[in-house]
Amino acid sequence: MQEDAAKNAKDAAPTGTQTLLRGLAVVQAVAGGARDLKEIARLIGTTRSTTHRLASCLVDERYLRVVPQVGYLLGPKLIELGFQAREALPLVTLAGPYLDELSALTGDTIHLAIREDDDVLYLHKNPGRNGPEMRSRVGHRMPLARTGIGKALLLDDSPQEWQRLYRISLPVGGKNLSWPAHQEQSWEQFQQRMLEYVAGGYAFDLEDNEPSIRCVAAPIRDASRQIVAGISIASTVPYMSLEKMAELVPLIKQVAARLSAELGAKA
């Protein structure tokens, strides 16, 4: 398929752009795993001599590099450009259309957040159309272990880190005076839920943080596959049944995967 796409692009291009497109095709071939001139030439449909000229130029300009006993690899210039591209487009701006899509599809409150020290920091909020307005706001911070979006940000962390964050999130004296009827989950219960979330690639808030609020969340990853942010769909219990939460898991994971792809993450 990669070979066909490269040939189709070359055939459709005006003559003056063919060299540029062939150079880009070389980069794509190397990114796809081609390591020698023979394989690159096969993928992009050029002669060995033409492929050698293109590859040599790209090595000179640092878009490719040659490693002994390995072959061609992507070069440092692409790493530099990748970081510049990421920094040039703020996460909130990039995520906006995806958050709007979730808002339109569900009618619920949509959040985008990142981890800052031991807290969730909310970067964006699309207010919901279902039920009363939530107290979350842009710039608001909450303990990671108490929110669905916070748990999504912790899916790659160790159980030891989960336990540390669980403990510091507990109310002083073990009771939330503003929510006296709430039964805090034990560490064992918290750990079991986190293990289930890791296996499923999502996280829930089942009224862990405030009365009557539930949410479904998923992590956003960058090109290194590191979790860099999270998104969530939240509403009050009358509008967020357990059945609905289960139905929302595939949706939020799919949107999170598309947003992750915008940051360079591969499926």
Distance of CA 61 to the CA centre of its chain: 31
Question: In 32-163, where do the E strands start and end?
Answer: 64-67, 71-74, 109-116, 119-126, 141-143
Would the pTM count as exceeding 0.85?
Answer: no
Specify whether the CB–CB gap between 112 and 92 falls below 8 A: yes
Contact present, 236 and 132 (Cβ < 8 Å): yes
Phi, psi of 80 (to 5 degrees): -60, -45
**Which tokens go with 133?**
């307005």
Question: Tens digit of pLDDT per residue, the chain (267 long)?
Answer: 445 544 454 444 445 588 899 999 999 999 999 999 999 999 999 999 999 999 999 999 999 999 999 999 999 998 888 777 766 668 888 899 999 999 999 999 999 999 999 999 999 999 998 877 777 788 889 999 999 999 999 999 999 999 999 999 887 655 554 545 556 888 999 999 999 999 999 999 998 888 889 999 999 999 889 999 999 999 999 999 999 999 999 999 999 999 999 988 887
